[in-house]
Structure 1
Amino acid sequence: MSPSYKLTAVLFGIGVTLHNLEEAMYLVRWARSHLKLRFEPNPKIYWVLTSLVSVMIWIPIVGVCVSKESPHFQSALSGFALAMAINAVLPHLVISLVKHSYSPGAGTGMLFNLPLGVLLIHAQLSAHSISRVGVWREAVLYALLLAVGTFGSLYGAHAILAARRA
């Protein structure tokens, strides 16, 4: 991959990390006052979870930057890019518009994750290393793995806390 792809990947990683930091710092307080949730969000869980997502994002970024030819890292990065681009719009932007209140993560998602995620996916589609269908199939698979893992961990951790309190 080209140096510009690698730079975009690093900028994407920085953007995701800033996005996750913003969520960890402000999302729990905002959610408590703006959303009706089935559980009481725990700030420590959000710190841990957003930190883990940030670490997971950097694994394929480092892989893309140091590996000579890294189709698996590129596919994983495209999946994360797809997940984070979608995340910028749904829920962050949509909830901000519906609630008439800034949802923490909306700005960093729209400023960094959406455009850089689209650029990463576009670059992989243009590289012709695998078919377009293959790129999308693998991107969707990795995006689903990230989403299921993240939401499963989030709800699982809150369920464990609720059970410990009972």
Structure 2
Amino acid sequence: MDYYLVVLFCFAITLHNIEEAIWLPKWSQQSSRFQKPVTSSEFHFAVILITILAYLSAFCFLVMPESDFAKWIFIGFLGSMIINAIFPHLIANVFLKKYAPGLLTGLVLNLPINSFIIYRMLSDNLIVWKELIISTFIVGIILLALIPFLFKIGGKIARLPSFK
């Protein structure tokens, strides 16, 4: 796997998460079935940790390309971020008839870059469809389960006297 493709993945997810960090907390305060209200502190803590996990997955894949586990986590992140561009971002935008933070970077960066990386991995026989689908499902479920937990921790940290 070309080093630059993994760097592109990190670049795309970073810009996507920055876009969300800037605008999503305020956007989430509006009544919506797509997003429960979240404070900036809660969201920023969660998005930083998710970004760190994405970077760790990319780093482990680069350092240990022979490790199936490292590969599965990395392709799980790739697939999860592709799905994330569509649901919730695109779906929320269509149903709410207003811009959902993360949509632009999701569609312009994550979707094409991650799709290209997956295409290359499939073409180079580094992965098969079954691995991609199962990894995307498992990593996606883990991330979805982790996010509310991270919001809760971020909220508790923000309430500590040293952070006020």
TM-score normalized by structure 1? 0.80
What do the CA deviations read for 1:9-58 (whole angstroms, capped 9, x no partner)? Answer: 21111111111111111101112135268964211010000000110000
Match of 2:136 among 127, 139, 150: 139
**What is the alpha-carbon distance in structure 2 between the residues aligned to residue 15 and residue 159 of structure 1?**
27
Match of 1:53 among 50, 63, 83: 50
Counterpart of 1:94?
Answer: 91
1:110 positional shift: 0.6
Equivalenced residue count is: 158
Counterpart of 1:12?
Answer: 9
Match of 1:125 among 93, 114, 122: 122
Match of 1:79 among 69, 76, 79: 76
**What is the alpha-carbon distance in structure 1 between the residues aligned to residue 100 and residue 11 of structure 2?**
20
Structure 1 residues 152 and 71, CA, compared in 2 at 3 Å: closer, same or farther? same
Amino acid at match of 2:26: R
Amino acid at match of 1:125: L
Larger displacement relative to structure 2 (65-74 or 6-15): 65-74
Query: Does structure 2 conserve the Cα–Cα contact (< 8 Å) formed by 1:125 and 1:135?
Result: no
**What is the alpha-carbon distance in structure 2 between the residues aligned to residue 132 and residue 78 of structure 1?**
11
- Gaps (5+ residues) in structure 1? 162-166
What do the CA deviations read for 1:96-149 (whole angstroms, capped 9, x no partner)? Answer: 122221111000111111112222222333333454323422332222222222
Structure 1 residues 115 and 29, CA, compared in 2 at 3 Å: closer, same or farther? same
When the two chains are superposed, the root-mean-square deviation of aligned CA atoms in Å is 2.7
- Gaps (5+ residues) in structure 2? 158-164
Structure 1 residues 40 and 90, CA, compared in 2 at 3 Å: closer, same or farther? closer
Query: Does structure 2 conserve the Cα–Cα contact (< 8 Å) formed by 1:78 and 1:124?
Result: no
- The 5-angstrom pairing of residues 107-122 of structure 1 reads 107-122=104-119
**What is the alpha-carbon distance in structure 2 between the residues aligned to residue 75 and residue 83 of structure 1?**
12
Query: Does structure 2 conserve the Cα–Cα contact (< 8 Å) formed by 1:84 and 1:113?
Result: yes
Percent sequence identity is 25
**What is the alpha-carbon distance in structure 2 between the residues aligned to residue 72 and residue 21 of structure 1?**
28
Counterpart of 1:164?
Answer: none
Counterpart of 2:62?
Answer: 65
Counterpart of 2:162?
Answer: none
